[in-house]
Structure 1
Amino acid sequence: MSLSFFLVSVVGLLLTPGPTNTLLAVAAASNGFRRALRLLPAELGAYLMVVVPVTLVAGPWLDARPAAMSAVTAAAGLWVAFLAVKLWRLPQASEGQGAAAVVAFRDVFVTTLLNPKALVIGLALMPRGTPGALLPWFGTLAAAICSVAVLWLLLGATLSRGRGLPPALRRGAAGYLGIVAIGLVARSL
């Protein structure tokens, strides 16, 4: 696979709505684009913490152990269900209350660690090779993660237009996360 085809594939995958993207949009909608930018290192760090070892070590191991892959998928589903309930029960934010009350660094980090997209990238999109040979792919992946995250933050900030997180958007995001959680748990069974 060429590096340009890899980039197109990764950006396409990262652009699809999912739990991490939903949290980024909610954070920007509740507290604005600039303040939500602090969540980017959580997403980037978590993706790299999964993709690098999966690409270099775990790919063949997980290929031979479908039960382990099911356990990872079930854990991801349970985490996303927890986030959905947390977001649904969140009281209406008062004026000036920031994204920290809605989406924490930890939420984005753990959600991204459990995001099946990281496994898809590490197991299916990344080529196999030595760490040195894969540096251009890891760098391209990091740039794609940051670029797509900024797009989701902009979307969230645009949806709220500085008025904070509308209750309908919060409940819609919680409902979407609930559907994703059900799908992940069902897939693991």
Structure 2
Amino acid sequence: MTDALPFIAAVLALLATPGPTNTLMAAAGAQRGVGQSLVLLVGELGGYFIAITLWIELVGAVGASQPLVPVAAKFIAAAFLLWSAWKLWADAGHADLAQRGITLGRVFVTTLINPKALVFAFAIFPHVGFAERLPYLGVFAVLVIATAIGWMALGMVAARSSAGLLTSSRVERITAVALAVFATLLVVQTVQGLL
């Protein structure tokens, strides 16, 4: 996709849909507010940039001759999402925010293995050399930041308007369930692709 408007529309459509990273961003907004969650943008941007580049440059090339490599990558991603879900559930409300749940590292790794990166790499980003891809990555970065802030704000508003129903512990447990659902869907889709 080399035209600017279709590229922007496709990126925004995919970024706006709920997913593992957006779930973490909304939960962070609910827990800390938008201002204190902004540091998580570094993890999301870094995760997407590395994932998209790796999918296009390495996995795409290897996957052409070894079709099980992308399949294995998807199963590894699902396993991490399940581990993250378990960790968030088990630690909900038991430690301070700096030690549990939604950290820069968690956002980075979750984004790195987010199935959306695969779609960005193979269906949305143009198949051009790395230097030619840089302007697209710049536009992508602006859209990621805007969308992530939107998810943080949504989480913050939901928490404030819930009259105390969305405690930090509940937000973490809801996030854990959502991550487990995303992992399950990824496994099901991957297995269906094998059949």
TM-score by length of 2: 0.85
Judge conservation of contact 1:28–1:156 (CA < 8 Å) in 2: yes
* CA pair 81-188 structure 1, distance change in 2 beyond 3 A: same
- Give ranges in structure 1 of 5+ residues lacking alignment: none
Deviations 1:102-140 (A, max 9, x none): 311110011011011111111111111223322221111
Matched residue, 2:176 = 174
Q: Distance in 1 between matches of 2:73 and 2:97?
A: 32
Deviations 1:84-105 (A, max 9, x none): 11222234369xx546533111
Give the aligned residue type for 1:29: A
Deviations 1:118-176 (A, max 9, x none): 11111111111223322221111111111111111111111112967454443322212
Matched residue, 1:25 = 26
Task: Indicate the larger mover: 82-91 or 119-128.
Answer: 82-91
1:158 to 2:157 alignment: yes
1:136 to 2:135 alignment: yes
Matched residue, 1:102 = 101
Q: Distance in 2 between matches of 1:151 and 1:99?
A: 22
Task: Indicate the larger mover: 65-74 or 178-187.
Answer: 178-187
Matched residue, 1:47 = 48
Give the length in aligned residue pairs.
187
Q: Aligned with 1:27: secondary structure?
A: helix
Give the aligned residue type for 2:13: G
- Give ranges in structure 2 of 5+ residues lacking alignment: none
* RMSD between aligned residues: 2.2
Q: How many percent of aligned residue pairs carry the same amino acid? A: 33
Q: Distance in 1 between matches of 2:43 and 2:87?
A: 19
Judge conservation of contact 2:92–2:168 (CA < 8 Å) in 1: no
Deviations 1:47-100 (A, max 9, x none): 001112433454343244321111111011111111111222234369xx5465
Q: Distance in 2 between matches of 1:69 and 1:167?
A: 35
